[in-house]
Structure 1
Amino acid sequence: MLLSLYIHIPFCASRCPYCDFTFVVRQTHLAPRYVEAVIRELRTRMTGLASPANGQERGSLLLPTLSTIYFGGGTPSLLSPQLLGRLLTAIRSEAEVMQGAEITVEANPGDSKHFAALRELGVNRLSLGVQALDDRILKALGRLHTAAQAEAAFEIARASGFHNINIDLIFGAPQQSVSDWEKTLAQALALAPEHLSLYGLTIEPGTAFSRRWAKGRLPLPSEDEQALMYEIALDRLAEAGYEQYEISNFARPGYASVHNLTYWERKPYLGLGVSAHSFLHPSRFWNTSHLLSYMEQVEQSGVAVAGEEVLSDASQVLEQILLGLRRPCGVPQDLLTRPPLSTNLDRLLEAQLLEKAQNRVRLTRRGLLLADVVCAELVRGL
């Protein structure tokens, strides 16, 4: 079996006011125990997936083959290189890792002292949580680094031997003007990363930003300004030679994230760690989102599953449509031939939010600006 592996590292140095991911602050003393729990879960899962029909031979077993490994968070770069190395050693022991496999670690600019060690461990892709290159906006986002530190971290990553670097940026941030965004984009492009991920700020329930927003104390750009920021990014990145391969993701030719494509193309992936999700066709399952509960359950039984869904045929079609429309190639037109999809499609084609190209249906540029609404309208009544 060929699959991708995701490992969730929940530890963070601070609580970002916009983040609703599973994380814990100032509890890195739990990291050694957590790593051992993840390794136990890994062994349990790989034993279950190993079979004479799967993977590559090692001794008397045929083990799954990993095409990508992705450490996300949280802040994986908060782990010491020794602990991250222990995880990678265990992964290489329990599964076959494809030659040239993409191995990504999400990192904060403040952890640049670890970059050289990460590269020596075999990590070949770094995803930097820059978010902005403007100190005022970084402060508004609750980030701990400065713009100068972010730029320095990028150069340290380059000097450490990373030739595949992603930069995360947020647009629509508090107090951010269109001009501010243009300056951040220009500074990011001057660094010449191989990949950029651009995310419009979303106010998630339960976050500090949502509480401030409810009280009218969160000054955000207007919807029109946010749309203009996105359009400016589309133009600037295309001019700089980046290809848009998903709504929020842009890469130089040959540098699209193989791991992220696994999600959008509905290929199998295994998630390890607290709150991690997995997809092994036709089932999706996910782990508990409580850190201590995760460790206790894995220590007792080897897994910590909180829920599972076996996808029906209709659910699989729905996923294929919603994930496919996030990509420029769109979805096959013959997926949309029966009501209510066909009726909804005609209406969206007429509104020039969707278009047909080579027997496929994709978002227009105008549709990209309203992607969530367009997708919801297309599958309405399904």
Structure 2
Amino acid sequence: EIDRAYGYAREVGFQQINIDLIAGMLDETEDNWKACVAKAIEMAPDSITVYQMEVPYNTTIYKRMKEEGKLAAPVADWDTKRRWTDYAYNELAKNGYTVTSAYTAVKDSSKVTFEYRDQLWAGADLLSVGVASFGHIGGTHYQNHHDFDPYVEQLGNGDLPVYRALTPGDDERLIREFILQLKLGSVSLQYFTDKFGTNPAERFAEPLQRIADWGFLTIEGDRVNINREGLLQVDRLLHEFFLPEHRNARYA
């Protein structure tokens, strides 16, 4: 199915084709992961995204874990997933790809762009379509209904199927945009100072120093840089920038 879909996409002339890899899925093994990486490279897509398997609270896997009284998800542990992701990026680099964020590697960075990612992480609007999907319009975040029936019912009534929404304050908007762009591996302090009137080096002095002390981050002139080891666990590190009331929040 993958070969056929990829072939069709090339045949009809898509300008940019990306392949997703997810490290640590159910029953994933070392040999299987290496084979998947090799196959993806062999197909020579314009870009490859590599994610580490997570089990959110609203998934079937988590519900089954809870019913069975299990404390850990039946997937690879985080150390293994990070090691596998690092392996993938090293193999991609050997084959002419450049790592451009915590999740992406591109064959030709002068031609391949991630407009959705770059624009959204810079505060652009996003219209959500689909059950439980998240959107961002005019500075307000919202999520559609979690379940299919109320989603369809509201659409049938001519209403937007919005379940909940939040308009963050200025500081929360700064936090959101700063941590999202840190996933790129390098951000400009001046950009945020100009946009929000706040220097992140001052606003986030404590978490920046903490992550630097852990060996994952450096500040060089105008740039805040996260190294490869930091990018492999960036989602965990970004919790350091959250407001206290958000650090232990669960999401669905």
TM-score w.r.t. length of structure 2: 0.80
Work out whether residues 195 and 256 of structure 1, in 8 Å CA contact, stay in contact via their aligned partners in 2: no
Correspondence for 2:50 among 192, 198, 201 = 198
Q: Is the radius of gyration larger for structure 1 or structure 2?
A: 1
Higher strand share: 1
What are the superposed Cα offsets for residues 255-306 of structure 1, whole Å, 9 maximum, x if unpaired?
2221222222221222234434332232222332333322332332442322
Please say if 1:337 is aligned against 2:190.
Answer: no
Q: Which moved more, 1:203-212 or 1:215-224?
A: 215-224
Correspondence for 1:229 among 73, 84, 90 = 84
How far 1:211 moved relative to its partner?
4.7
Correspondence for 2:210 among 321, 327, 347 = 347
What are the superposed Cα offsets for residues 70-91 of structure 1, whole Å, 9 maximum, x if unpaired?
xxxxxxxxxxxxxxxxxxxxxx
Q: In the alignment, which residue of structure 2 is the partner of 1:371?
A: 234
Show structure 1 runs of 5+ residues with no match. Answer: 1-148
How far 1:227 moved relative to its partner?
1.8
What is the RMSD of the two structures over their aligned residues, measured on CA atoms? 2.5
SS of the equivalent of 1:174 reads coil
Please say if 1:279 is aligned against 2:153.
Answer: no
- Matches for 1:1-382 after TM superposition, within 5 Å: 149-211=1-63, 213=65, 215=68, 219-252=74-107, 253=109, 254-330=111-187, 332=189, 334-338=199-203, 341-379=204-242, 381=244
TM-score w.r.t. length of structure 1: 0.55
Work out whether residues 144 and 163 of structure 2, in 8 Å CA contact, stay in contact via their aligned partners in 1: yes
Work out whether residues 336 and 345 of structure 1, in 8 Å CA contact, stay in contact via their aligned partners in 2: yes
Work out whether residues 185 and 231 of structure 2, in 8 Å CA contact, stay in contact via their aligned partners in 1: no
1:255 partner amino acid: V
Question: Cα 1:379–1:362, aligned 2, differ >3 Å: closer, same or farther?
Answer: farther
Work out whether residues 17 and 45 of structure 2, in 8 Å CA contact, stay in contact via their aligned partners in 1: yes
2:134 partner amino acid: H
SS of the equivalent of 2:14 reads coil
Question: Cα 1:184–1:273, aligned 2, differ >3 Å: closer, same or farther?
Answer: closer
SS of the equivalent of 2:50 reads strand
How far 1:192 moved relative to its partner?
0.5
C-alpha separation in 2, matches of 1:247 and 1:357: 20
Identity of aligned residues (%): 22
Work out whether residues 143 and 164 of structure 2, in 8 Å CA contact, stay in contact via their aligned partners in 1: yes
1:269 partner amino acid: L
Question: Cα 1:380–1:367, aligned 2, differ >3 Å: closer, same or farther?
Answer: farther
SS of the equivalent of 1:284 reads strand
SS of the equivalent of 1:278 reads strand
C-alpha separation in 2, matches of 1:360 and 1:207: 38
Work out whether residues 24 and 52 of structure 2, in 8 Å CA contact, stay in contact via their aligned partners in 1: yes
How far 1:184 moved relative to its partner?
0.9
C-alpha separation in 1, matches of 2:13 and 2:142: 36
